[in-house]
Structure formats: C-alpha cells, structure tokens
Amino acid sequence: MDEHQRANLAKWNELVAVHARSAFYDVDGFRRGCCSLRPLELEEVGDVAGLRLLHLQCHFGLDTMSWARLGAEATGLDFSDTAIEVARSLSDDLAIPARFLCTDLYQLPKVLDETFDVVFTSYGVLCWLRDLEEWARIVARFLAPGGRFHLVELHPSSAPSRTSPRS
C-alpha cells in the first residue's frame, strides 16, 4: 500500500464513527427496518430476490444489508477494517444474513473465487480508485454470465442531497 492509499484508508477508518452517528446514515432508522437504498437504485437494479449480489466499496454496509433485506444473497466489501467491523456487528445484531469482506478492491480476485448475478457500487466510489481500467476488469471478473453491473455515482464535487432521501 502506498502513502496515498494509507492516507485514504486512515481517513475512511476515521469517518466510520462520524457517519454511523449521522442523521444522513440514520442507523437508528435502519435498525427499525428502514431501507437505506434510494428510489433510483431500487428501480435501476430491480428485484434482487434470490440473486447473488456483490457490493463494492460498501462502507459500513447499510446498502448491502438493505439488498439482503430485499432477498439478495449479499456480499459487501470495503478496505476499511473499521467499516467492516461495524457492518458485521450490525448484521449480527439485526440478524441480517449478509457477508462482509475486508479487502482492497484490487486484491479481491486473490481472496474471492465466485461470480455474482449483480455487481453494485454507489455514491462516492470512483474518485478513490487509482486505476479505473483495472477496476472495470475486476467488475467483469465477478459477473456471472448474463450478470448485470450497476453503478450509481455522483459528480465528484457534489454531495448526496437531502432532497433525494433514502427510502
């Protein structure tokens, strides 16, 4: 891991506690059963019941677990050990059967030998990645034949709006 990646990881580890307490992520609402996914991705991805879904850069896993609540066999990955610890703890507490992997995205082919019906990634992911061509190869590597990739992304200078609330 180079200096840039180490700094990026340290920042994300630090942000997990801040985000987990924030109104934006609304963990209490999630605990009560609210879905963290927005209408855009719900409509775009469609019915996931019974599908194997891989969520790249899942942060502390609310969206991954929301897909699991909708019936997907969901796997989330993130390189932040703090984020994955919180994700696993929430999924245990809430008995949501999602799997979480703590790994750098670029190392994923070395730690996972499976394919998925859906590969999903969203909101604030691309700007952290050092090599988008390699990222695209990794996405393709993990898609099963006929599988679908869904990317929902923001402009790097924008932030998710409070006027497009999580449903």
82 binds ligand SAM (CB under 6 A): no
87 binds ligand SAM (CB under 6 A): no
* 27, 35, 45, 63: residue in contact with ligand SAM (rule CB under 6 A): 63
125 binds ligand SAM (CB under 6 A): yes
Distance separating alpha carbons of residues 130 and 127, to the nearest angstrom: 8
- Is the Cβ of residue 146 or residue 155 nearer to ligand SAM in the bound state? 155
* 35, 78, 91, 117: residue in contact with ligand SAM (rule CB under 6 A): 78
135 binds ligand SAM (CB under 6 A): no
91 binds ligand SAM (CB under 6 A): no
- Is the Cβ of residue 47 or residue 131 nearer to ligand SAM in the bound state? 131
**DSSP string of 21-88?**
TSTTT-HHHHHTT-----HHHHHHH---TT-EEEEES-TTSHHHHHHHHTT-EEEEEES-HHHHHHHH
123 binds ligand SAM (CB under 6 A): yes
Cβ–Cβ < 8 Å for 148, 44: no
- Is the Cβ of residue 57 or residue 91 nearer to ligand SAM in the bound state? 57
Instruction: Name the percent of the chain in helix, strand, coil, to the closest 5.
Output: 45, 20, 40
